[in-house]
Structure formats: C-alpha cells, structure tokens
Amino acid sequence: MGILKSIKEEISIIRERDPAIHSSMEVFLYPSFRVMLHYRVAHRLYNRKHYFLARLISQRAVRKTGIEIHPGAVIGTGFFIDHGSGVIIGETTVIGNNVTLYQGVTLGGTGKETGKRHPTIEDNVMISAGAKILGSFTIGRNSKIGAGSVVLEEVPPNCTVVGVPGRIVKRDNEVIPRESMDQVHLPDPIKEDITNLQHANSELTNRLLDLEQELRELKNRK
C-alpha cells in the first residue's frame, strides 16, 4: 500500500470511529494517525533489515504520541487506537483487521519466552482501556477484552473476557459490528460472585434459623 493510500485509509478509519473528529484536518493532530504513519514507514525498513533506522523512527513516534509500536509488529487494515497514550505493542505481535485498542493497552511478553513472544490478535477484536495481554497466544476473532483485564492465556473466538487474571464470562457472541464496540457494557464477574455469595449466605442464615426453631420446638415438647 502506498503512502497516500495509507494516509487516506487512516483518515477514513479515525473519522468513522471517533465522533470527536469534525474534519479531516483534525485527523492530522490525532496521535493514532501520527503513530501509524511512522509505523508504516518503520515496518518497511524493518522488513528490509534496516533495524536501527526502523527503531529510530518508532522511538521518535513514541516521544511525539506516547504510543509505542515496535516496527516488527504486523498490523492489518482498519486498525484504530482511541486516545492511545500508554499503548505498547511488542515486536512479534500480530494484529488482524478492524481491531480497536483504547488507552493504556499493552500487547507484551512475559519476559520468559523466545521467538514469538507477543500475542496474536485476530479480526474484529476490541481491547478496552488498561488491559494487558501478555504472552504468545491468540485472542480469537470478534472478542472483547474488558477494561483493566490481565489476559495470560488463549481466548477462543466470540468471547468476552474480564478480570485479573482475565477469565471468559461470555462465549459465542454474535459478530461484533464496529458501532457496538463499547468498552463499558461488559459483564462484571466480581459483582456476580459477590451476589452469589450473598444469596448463599442468605440461604445458610435461613437454614440456621429453621434449625434453631426446630430445636426450640423439641425442647418445648420435652
């Protein structure tokens, strides 16, 4: 893809997904736009084994945008970073098409792996603010990762993951259209666990009260 085509695509993606952008000129100020232009150039240099130049360009982009994308990462089309400060994408990360990241997301390694050290993110995945995905496993297509989640193992397609460590709370979602990529309306497993404990506690309390009543009745009969 040529530079002009890349610029047009990035402008189109940002205008489509961020309602705060009112004109194409505003897109040129957008961190996601600027970092992706740097990444596309750096990635080409990286593939041609110009590693120093590639890293030089990517590090300049970090200083300007607060978003760190290693030039070795492979990123598909329709990629969007919303308010991307603090986003980190590791060298062996592979990202599919129509993926959305929010601020503070890390696609990193565990520090104990060699070779493929970073995650693979399949098509149509949304990763919410502050989520950390660490390791060389796959996040299946059409999945959602909740805000602040720490994901340490593979996620099948069409799933919703929340919590620390991340756990699957919903399977076999319908395909996620772009307009439904909402990082707020996700299940809360901690709240669900607390509710279940409250119900269990109420049942135990009622059972104890019944037993006490039975004991009193037995004593009165004697």
Q: What residues does each domain of the chain span? A: 3-187, 188-222
117-123 average pLDDT score: 95
Evaluate whether 47 touches 39 at the Cβ level (below 8 Å).
no
Distance between CA 92 and CA 45 in Å, rounded?
A: 16
Q: What is residue 209's three-state secondary structure? A: helix
Evaluate whether 78 touches 94 at the Cβ level (below 8 Å).
no
Does 28 have pLDDT greater than 90?
A: no
Other C-beta atoms closer than 10 Å to the C-beta of 171 total 12
| pLDDT for 175 | 45
- DSSP state, residue 134: E
Bridge pairing between strands 132-134 and 126-127: unpaired
What is the value of pTM for the model shown? 0.71
Does 179 have pLDDT greater than 60?
A: no
| pLDDT for 189 | 62
Cα Rg of the chain (Å, integer):
24
Does 154 have pLDDT greater than 50?
A: yes
Specify the higher pLDDT residue, 185 or 126.
126
Helix (H) or strand (E) holding 145: strand 144-145
Distance between CA 38 and CA 34 in Å, rounded?
A: 6
**% of the chain beyond a pLDDT of 90:** 42
**Which CATH number is 3-187 given?**
2.160.10.10
Q: Which two tokens stand for residue 147?
A: 């805000």
For the ranges 10-14, 17-21, 116-120, the maximum mean pLDDT occurs at: 116-120
| pLDDT for 60 | 92
